Amino acid sequence: MRRFELYDTLSRETRMFVPITPPKVGLFVCGLTPYSDAHIGHAKGPVTFDVVARALRRWGYRVFSVQNVTNLDDRLIARGGESGTDPMALADRHMAVWYGDMARLGIRSVNYYPHATDYIPEILAQIQQLVDRGFAYEARGSVYYDIAKFPRYGALSGQKLDALRPGARVDPEPGKRSPGDFVLWKAATPGEPNWESPWGPGRPGWHIEDTAITVRLFGPRYDIHGGGADLKFPHHEAEIAQAEAATGESPLVNFWMHVGLLTLKGEKMSKSLGNVVGLSESIDTFSPQVVRFYYLNAHYRSPLDFVPGRSLEEAAEAYRALDSVAVRLRAARTAAGPDREGEELSPELESSAVSTVEELDELLSHDFNTRETIALLFRWTKTLTELLPKLDGLSTTALDTLLGPHDWAGEVLGLLGASESSAGDGTLSGVIRLALDARARARARSDFTEADRIRDELIAAGVRVEDDGSSTRWRLAGPSV
């Protein structure tokens, strides 16, 4: 396994990464709350953590990568009420688009997308633990976490407890002992989805879903937790308080990774503010590779200020310059076949190709500095410029050696690789499976209208769905006409 350094937000230090149980690595990333179409800021984190998982697997680690889905919250309930749609069905519809965009972006590293409402028993059990241990209390059918009982609350974000006043980003419900106390279980409101609990009917709060999921999947401690910089407080702060109080073990994770936000004219890009640029439209207009390149041509912790009419246009121009040499090399390699004899590389150039691949790994091993790896790829491309007219005379072995840095970029960055960001058969199967999972959730909550809609859309796309009572199978067929 290759050793690498990683910056930890909690300790504010860059230190050598050591897994809790080598060579296994547990990676959890806060995922989407799919109450409307995704904007281009949403994919910056998933692309970042896709590179993290790809690199770790290349370096010999066994990564279990999880991104949760908050498929029920206040915003989903509000949007569902506006359109007369079940909020969880609305979440599934937006997630279907999201999964398609992730496939187009070449994000193939996530092992599991757990949905919050599939973990209600685990959520209730963790809340009960917190109540039993004196960290949570019931008020008017809701349950709140008492932040005064957890002295380390605020350590991740630097937030001081005495600064928590009404009007800050805290839960304002009545019955709380302190304005900063956050809700674990919300008492039911008429017309909203709810589940039975020891405190009466209700639904989970925002923060509890993540720790209930991670304790179930990883145990009380795991290796890396990722998310946007805006989630440090209160979300990630709450996760630490919940999990460590419930399990009695700490730290919850060894490394906190926070991705710099994508802003628009200096403001956070936000659906609530309306200053968004659509993700699907950006991919359609500029290609998945250009969008990935735009994110990765900066350090993951750095914010990106998006300028409409300039940012992706400049990224497209730069990526074409980088990709053009890779395209020519791959075309020459295809034409050469498996064992063409021809001119070999000079010892200096061969050594340079091999050492460039090693240097790419070395650069990335310092806190996943993708910007520096891309700069090195540009330097390598410049080295090859004079050699391009001679490609047809090179041997297959020589061409394979020259493609080494580009193959690395395809494997790790998802750039410059042959069809690296397209949805192949494996990705297609995954997307279909996710759609069928959404259908199964709809059927489990007796929303047969939504289940039939998903089935009909799959059939229209050429996917035949077959239920045999105990399981569901699918197969590809011609689109219906």
Q: What is the pLDDT of residue 469?
A: 59
Q: Residues 186-201: what's their mean pLDDT?
A: 96
Q: What is the pLDDT of residue 159?
A: 86
Q: What is the pLDDT of residue 269?
A: 78
Nearest to 184 by CA among 253, 115, 124, 121: 124
Element (H, E) at 329: helix 311-336
The residues, ordered by sequence, that sit 6+ positions from 383 with a Cβ below 8 Å of its Cβ are: 349, 352
Q: Residues 296-313: what's their mean pLDDT?
A: 96
Partners of 26 in the β-ladder: 64
Count Cβ neighbours within 10 Å for each residue of 460-481 and write b for 16 or more, e otherwise: eeebebeeeeeebebeeeeeee
Q: What is the pLDDT of residue 266?
A: 80
pLDDT in tens, 223-233: 999 999 999 99
Query: Is 480 a residue whose pLDDT tops 60?
Result: no
CATH superfamily of 5-259: HUPs (3.40.50.620)
pLDDT in tens, 87-144: 999 999 999 999 999 999 999 899 999 999 999 999 999 999 999 999 999 999 999 9
Q: In which band, very low, low, confident or very high, does the pLDDT at 423 lie, cut at 50, 70 and 90?
A: very low
Rounded to two decimals, the pTM is 0.88
The residues, ordered by sequence, that sit 6+ positions from 384 with a Cβ below 8 Å of its Cβ are: 325, 329, 402
Greatest extent of the chain over all pairs of C-alpha atoms, in Å: 80
Percent of the chain with pLDDT over 70: 91
Q: In which band, very low, low, confident or very high, does the pLDDT at 27 lie, cut at 50, 70 and 90?
A: very high
**How deeply is 12 buried, as exposed, middle or buried, from its count of CB atoms within 10 A (0-12, 13-18, 19+)?**
exposed
Mean pLDDT lowest among 289-298, 379-388, 441-450: 441-450
Mean of the per-residue pLDDT values of the chain: 90
pLDDT in tens, 30-73: 999 999 999 999 999 999 999 999 999 999 999 999 999 999 99
Q: Residues 319-331: what's their mean pLDDT?
A: 94
Q: In which band, very low, low, confident or very high, does the pLDDT at 454 lie, cut at 50, 70 and 90?
A: confident
Q: Residues 170-194: what's their mean pLDDT?
A: 87
DSSP letters, 203-264, are EE-TTHHHHHHHHHHH-S-EEEEEEEGGGIIIIIHHHHHHHHHHH--S-SEEEEEEEPPEEE
Query: Is 165 a residue whose pLDDT tops 50?
Result: no
pLDDT in tens, 331-355: 999 999 999 999 999 999 999 999 9
Question: Tokens 């004219």, residue?
Answer: 265
Q: What is the pLDDT of residue 428?
A: 62
Cα–Cα distance measured from residue 127 to residue 125, given in angstroms and rounded to the nearest whole number: 6
Nearest to 213 by CA among 11, 314, 69: 69
Q: What is the pLDDT of residue 276?
A: 84
Q: What is the pLDDT of residue 166?
A: 42
Q: Where are the domains of the chain?
A: 5-259, 308-413, 428-445+455-476
Q: Residues 241-265: what's their mean pLDDT?
A: 96
